[in-house]
Amino acid sequence: MSGDLKWNKIFGAALGTAFVILVVKTGAEMIYETHEPEKMGYFVNAPEEAEAGAEAPALPADWGTVLPAADIAAGEAAFARCKACHTINQGGADGIGPNLFGVVGGPVTHRAGFAYSDAMIAHKAEAPNWTYDALDEFITSPARDVPGTKMSFAGLRDETTRHNLIAYLRSQGSAGYAIPAPDPARQPGAAPAEGAAPAGADAAVTEGAAAPAEGPAGAPTTQTTPAAPPAATSAPAPK
């Protein structure tokens, strides 16, 4: 008799416990709703390189118009991105990359003591000098211009930033490298449609010190007034 009662108590307690667990679990599920993520894993948003890579470089710049109007101070600010690997002062040491004093217009692999990649040495056979066009293409996307280069730098997509930077590089030991006469065939207006596509990619790439200098000057002008060529840079160019 007393044994039966004991078992009743035990079953009762077990049942009660199970009930409590059930209530807590259901309650917890009601409070903390769990959702399956729609996509598993992390989504890394990196379309810019691919898109910009597919995008052919814009028309070669009209250096005779662009360089005299370039903002050298903005170019110096843009050079901050290069400083991790390059010095540019005369007689400056090579770092991860070669010293760049006098590189504009100079020979590709211009520093005798620097261990250039085979890719860069091969590039020299095709394009022996760092002309304005050659530099512009290289800086836009080093890996696309010289596949296999050991300059691991994504590139500068923004045209105005590149032009300013090249003007700055030229001011560091290459002032004797002539600026060509303005070339109407290279002036904008020939490619009004280009404005839209690169603008997005440019904005994404252009962060940091150079950004304020080119926002108002570069992108809007190419879209609103495709017919006015020299206005693409910050200062009005003398015709």
Residues forming the site for ligand HEC (CB under 6 A): 81-82, 84-86, 96-98, 100, 103, 108-111, 116-117, 119-120, 130, 135, 139, 149-153, 156, 165
Region class of 88: left (phi > 0), else alpha (psi between -120 and 50), else beta: alpha
**Smallest gap, in angstroms, from Cβ of residue 182 to ligand HEC?**
24
**Smallest gap, in angstroms, from Cβ of residue 153 to ligand HEC?**
4
Residue with tokens 């060529």: 229
Nearer to ligand HEC, 72 or 231 (CB): 72
In whole angstroms, give the CA distance from residue 178 to residue 164.
16
Nearer to ligand HEC, 156 or 205 (CB): 156
In whole angstroms, give the CA distance from residue 51 to residue 190.
22
Tell me how crowded residue 78 is: count the other CB atoms within 10 A of its CB: 29
Nearer to ligand HEC, 64 or 98 (CB): 98
**Smallest gap, in angstroms, from Cβ of residue 224 to ligand HEC?**
28
**Smallest gap, in angstroms, from Cβ of residue 73 to ligand HEC?**
16
**Smallest gap, in angstroms, from Cβ of residue 175 to ligand HEC?**
16
Nearer to ligand HEC, 111 or 144 (CB): 111
**Smallest gap, in angstroms, from Cβ of residue 57 to ligand HEC?**
15
Q: Six-digit token pair at 201?
A: 């990619």
Nearer to ligand HEC, 82 or 219 (CB): 82
Residue among 176, 215, 195, 212 at smallest CA distance from 77 = 212
Residue 132 near residue 70 (C-beta atoms within 8 A): no
- DSSP letters along 75-138, please? HHHHGGGTTTT---STTPPP-SS---TT-TTSBSS--TTS---HHHHHHHHH--B--HHHHHHH
Nearer to ligand HEC, 110 or 170 (CB): 110
